[in-house]
Structure 1
Amino acid sequence: MEFREKLLKVDQVLNSDDTKALAFLCKDILKCDISSVESPIDLFKILEEKDDLSEDQPYLLADLLRVIEHFQLLRELDLNSTMSTTVNPITPYRKLLYELSKDIGQKELKKIKFLLTKDLQRSALELNVSTLEVFLEMERKDLLSSSNLLRLEQILKDVRPVLWKQILQFKDSQGKIAQETGLVDLRPRSSSDASRRGKDQTDPPPYPMKAQQRGICWIVNNFDFSRSSGKHKNREGTDIDEGRLSLVFRWLGFEVEVLPDATRDQMLSSMRELAGRDHSGMDCVACVVLSHGLEGGVYGVDGGKVRLKELTELLHGVRCPSLRGKPKLFFIQACQGNKKEQAVPVPANGTVNPKVHDQTDGPSGPGVNIQTDGPSSPVDICSDAVVASELLPSTADFLTAMATTPSHVSVRLEDKGSWFIQSLCKNLVQLVPQGQDLVSILTNVNDDVSKMFKRIGGCRQMPQHSSSLRTRVVFPVPEGRFNHKVTFDDFLGEESTV
């Protein structure tokens, strides 16, 4: 049976209640008002447009049918063994709410609506309003979210204690998964961690992170430089960086969009299109460029130069009003020149430690292939450099994190990806669940990368970030664990020295 025939079969079998259930389970994916979904076909069209459902990726369809317990349909469509090996798009939180709704009868729903009389509009409490619709209205009123189950706990404790215990078990299981993996720790480990979580009253409140969608993560991944007239080599290993970034930023709640092998004009055109969108329902935007670079800029695959200022200024408040007051985050994996960072001894207790090199050495085998993301000659740096002060615009709420300091190279390994992206992904996964803000996380990235060293070529690297943020960027703790089929060490690669 062809894939589209399978979708049509689902549409024919499922009833209106099933359709509402599917739309509810996909709410975090759709990022829109699900009331417009009147049939499974409506839902499938949206999911296909967002590249979340296709013949090559039927995992979401199989998972949806599995959750709503249409097992016979799963067998008929030969989807019974179809399982996703990547991040599951249906969040544990969304599944929990659906499971709770199945066990709430009409009498109990009537009591729930009574307890919510002062919180919700009368239209949301009418007799024909379902449990899932009540949950949606609670979310709209900020009474219910993945990080705020308290109100629902209080209600179910009075109405149906067994379901209240189900929420407690869910929270406990999520905490245990986090502790076992070491990736998500919902509790501060010390008083200093507590202050990082915003509990220190002297800290200003962080940027709001309460929108239904975190934002767009726009990734330019430039690999094939065959059109650059021999000025630049292909960037082996960049797909590893893209894969890591896509996994981590989706885990953080972003919608990832990748622009592969972009010329100068394509990069600017895509950024203009991004700036022209309505971001009013989002918390922030993240922009990542993986390419060859020069001081203060990057290269398109055609060899055309794009100053970082040309990219950032397109998101200024005047040009992109829906991002006013919201963080605009840039991460640039590219060289800023062809100089190699020099190592210097670090004084410890007034003395110089002569073994500083050996403490941070990476693999030293002759087969290691190190690449950089810079121009092919010093001439390119001298004639095309952009001064560092142009990295940040004069408007507020921008943060730019560079893989290296001005005039220096950044390291990328063919089989491991770049040092900077490795460390960025590792620290986001480890420190976001601890409540650390983004600038603090980037400081950890600086420390990580500064300790990395390769004997071949004597390569070292020092990332650098600059900011016009007005307060802290603190991402909410993502749902569940970081779900990836390989181990955390494999995910990071051997180049991590901490």
Structure 2
Amino acid sequence: MSKIERELTALNIKPYRGKAYDLRVDLNYRNIASVPLQVFTLTELQWLNLNVNRLKSLPRDISKLTRLRWLFLENNHFEDFPEIITELKELVRLYMGSNRLRALPSSVGELSKLRYLDISDNKFTAFPACLWSDELRGLEKLFLSNNGITNLPKAVEKLTNLKVLWLNNNKIDWIPYSMGEMKNLEELQLAENRLRILPASLCSNLENLNKGNFENNLLIKEYQDVLKKDIQGLRDLEKSVNSTWMRNGRMEMREWSSGARVPCYTMDSHPCGAALIIYNYEYERDLSERSNSDTFRSEISTIRSILSSMGFSVRVMKNLTSLDLIGSLRNLNLEEHSFHDCLLVCILSQGTFGRFMGVDKIGVSFRNLTEIFTEVNSPNLTGKPKIFLMETNPVEDYGPREQPTSVTPTDDDLLTLMTSVEVIPNEADFLLGYANLQLEKNHDGRRGRRSGYLLTVIRALEKLCGKHHMLDILTIANRKTMDNIAKQDGISLTPVLQSTLRYDLYFDDADELYE
């Protein structure tokens, strides 16, 4: 027996051969905090199981395992991805579920032979960008369930050879139409997310898709009924809806530079739609005290100017009571919208947790406003996008009718509240972008603390409307607003996006999109 064999035996490490005569070592359930260095002398090793231990890092010596194909690192204590793994160029399967990872280094994209990646049960909040590297095109199975991912990028379409994608139990509000370009996808798991609608031709484009799970989402009723059947039922629904709206002129097909044809809302009317801006900040009792009123009015003027330049018919209302707030939207609903392509409502107000504050200090829930424009109430807006962009900021003084809550909710509390409650109606063609500013405990409560969310969204819309669709723009604006707030002490922000848009929404002419 050689010295190495004696050392391995002393450590109770027993290499063995698998069915394909590949050399394997199992060190799972050993409660080890480091890998015995003797393992790295086994240069022919192809399988290394280190599941269920206390590992936080890997030594550089693991790079000596140049033939390693299977690496198991589940249920350990990794907070950072061990970048040394990316030197294992023969790696085919990597299991790193149930750790504490938040990101993957770009070098993961160099694992050109990787076919199977499991990073479920970690702390990812965004889809790892390295996964659409050209060298990772061979990836076939990807598991990202039980993380905190909020959206999927358009670039997910680059995973062209992916056959299985698991994204259960995340915080995904919408999925991009580009997912329909993943032609080899056979299984898609999206249960327990925050989806309200699916891309209009998702299953029709994914001809190989035969297994899908969309349970425990917030899908509108027509999808809930169909998904009780099977994938073919969803394909039939997509075909019927798309045929109807194209025939009625509500939808058009646009061709991307890649050659892909994408269903989009028709946006060729002039004006493209009515836009109502409600500005509820200058409470009568405070007018003499507000040194920043001019700044607020200038901001509203900027928003109005941008929307007008984009082809909206814009009007502004300010300092409304709770009843006037509701009444203004009811009057808007009674207007003629037959010759418009969409509706836009922007509200900037004091308020909290899904409620606006009228100047009479009575709260109005978001749902009371959005449900005014349901299909039953607004038949001439059926099939057209109805967009609500809303910003609420701290209530600076409470009257006798509206008292503050005894406990300030955390960002997670607010996100749970706003995503579990159906703020928009349970039907297609609605979009809500919302941000609520929170003052932390013992904050000095300085007047005029605001998130700037609405202005950020409108400026992003002006800049990006010819390159990105509306959901992408809102995602970009959410990130920018949160970055700005992160630089300020004593406040926090949780943007929320809810969408039942059937199609991509671009605010430009179809023939200008790819110039």
- TM score, norm. by length of structure 2: 0.42
Task: Flag the structure with higher strand content.
Answer: 2
- Greater relative contact order, per chain length (Cα 8 Å cut-off, separation 6+): 1
Q: Which has the higher helix share?
A: 1
Q: TM-score, normalised by structure 1?
A: 0.43
The structure having more radius of gyration, on CA atoms, is 2
